[in-house]
Structure 1
Amino acid sequence: MTKHQKRLSVPKSWPVERKTETFTAKAGAGPHGESGVPLVVVLRDVLGYVDNSKEAKYAVNTQGVLVNGDNVGDINRPIGMFDILTFPERDEYYRVFPDEGGRLGLTPIDADAADSKLSKVADKTLVDGGRTQLNLHDGSNLIVEDDEYSGGDSIVVDNESNDVVAHFEYEEGALVTAVAGQHAGHIGTVDDISVQPGSADNTVSVSGEDASFETVEDYVVVIDENFVGDEGDESESRQTESDGGDEE
């Protein structure tokens, strides 16, 4: 199986230039499914902290980068929406967040915000012992004792204890951000949730400071005001502007 991915066929969310090189790294097994971006691409193409995969391997092997508070052993580990990247020696912290074009970018956050991660509840299932399993947007799951969550809600999970430290309900009046589609990166308040018959996608109407929009329900994530504060300065968001560098 090839270790490379053709740039022209990568998902639109990947922050790589598509016409400067033929190949880029291929994401390994892990969270976020096909949309996950290999860690080496983030380190090389977005941040410019390494020039090639050898330097990336050295960085992860010396605990130079943490993902959601954990050491990483694979430079192709998929990185995706709302992941937290920590660089201990640099004292730098980033949240992965889509920009207005839908491509994943890195937004600087402070150390306190890096201790936990926002996740969207995709759905939930009942497991042994009467407990509830929350199935999250990145493919991970979490067992909780209380059945107070619904699909579309958002939770904040402590990276160390794995406890839910905040819960935001998906409902009219909720603050949301669009993470896909033509309105990706926009923030606003839910005005109306329209449940469509049959297999059609539910839609949601959102009012923002700059503009109002309607989008597919799956494209929005509930956030809180603190999250908006972290994302407030879009000029600081790190996006790739390089030619991709060496692949090996």
Structure 2
Amino acid sequence: MLKYCKTTKEVKQILNNKEVLVDGKRRKDERFLVGLMDVITIPSTKESFRIVFSDKGHLSYVTIDNKESKFKLSKISGKTLIKGGKFQLNLSDARNINIAKNDYKVGDTLQIEVPSQKILKHFKLDVGSNIMLTGGSHVGKNGELKTIVGKTITFVTSQGDEFETKIEHAYVIGDKKSAIKTEE
């Protein structure tokens, strides 16, 4: 995908030399999966990439700067009450974060510092939010959330196209404007 190597042998050699970071952690297993919003960093070349959806709906990558490589966005996919009256947030990338206050809702997005998992910002799934679609026939489209009616949302792209889709396909990427780079 990134075109740094051609064979599996080259992939293994690069990984064994500890030359690849995924979300700030060194990865040596060539079977380790990367997913939506993951940050891939190659320290030797000082390059960083974020996995996003292309406008065609395929997983792709965009080159990001050093500042943006220090965080990732994760959607809250579930919430659980645990021992001691604390809450556990279940995130879209299989992370779990324990919190004391119940300030977050399922569907909201957290900006998380990697690899420490410290919550930097909270983006609510609300009218006016900047979203990216992760499902349906408009996967990869970005735009402003206009209305929420039950489990259906309406959003407008920067080109002015208006679409309606399920609320579960909305991934908040910023308040008024995107907090991340989504295209080259």
TM bin (shorter chain)? over 0.9
Residues 138-174 of structure 1 show CA distances to partners (whole Å, capped at 9, x for unaligned) of: 2221112221000000001111321100000111221
Question: Are 1:101 and 1:182, in contact at CA under 8 Å, matched by a contact in 2?
Answer: no
Q: Per-residue deviation at 1:106?
A: 0.5
Gaps of 5+ in 2: none
Confirm or deny that 1:135 pairs with 2:90: yes
Aligned to 1:241: none
Structure 1 segment 18-167 matched on structure 2, within 5 A: 46-167=1-122
Q: Quote how far apart the aligned CAs of 1:226 are.
A: 4.5
Distance in 1 (alpha carbons) for counterparts of 2:11 and 2:153? 41
Deviation at 1:52, TM superposition (A): 1.4
Paired residues, number: 181
Paired position in structure 1 for 2:179: 227
Q: Equivalent pairs: percent with the same residue?
A: 31
Say if 1:176 and 1:188, in contact at 8 Å, map to a contact too: yes
Q: Deviations over 1:175-219 (max 9, x none)?
A: 111122221221111111121xxxxxx221102221111112111
Q: Does the CA-based 8 Å contact 1:134-1:144 persist in structure 2?
A: yes
Deviations 1:63-96 (A, max 9, x none): 1110000011211111110000001011110110
Show the 5 A alignment for 1:166-177: 166-177=121-132
1:102·1:181 contact (CA, 8 Å) conserved in 2? no
Quick one: which of 184, 198, 205 aligns to 2:154? 205
- Normalized against structure 1, the TM-score is what? 0.70
1:187 paired residue number? 142
Indicate whether 1:178 and 2:140 are aligned. no
Distance 2:28 2:18 in 1: 9
Q: Which has the higher contact order (CA 8 A, sep 6+)?
A: 1
Alpha-carbon separation, structure 1, partners of 2:157 and 2:55: 14
Q: Which runs of 5+ in 1 are unaligned?
A: 1-45, 196-201, 237-248
Which protein shows a greater Rg? 1
Which of structure 1's runs of 4+ aligned residues deviate more than 4 A? none
Secondary structure of the 1:79 match is coil
Question: Is the 8 Å Cα contact of residues 36 and 52 (structure 2) preserved in structure 1?
Answer: yes
| Aligned residues: CA RMSD | 1.3
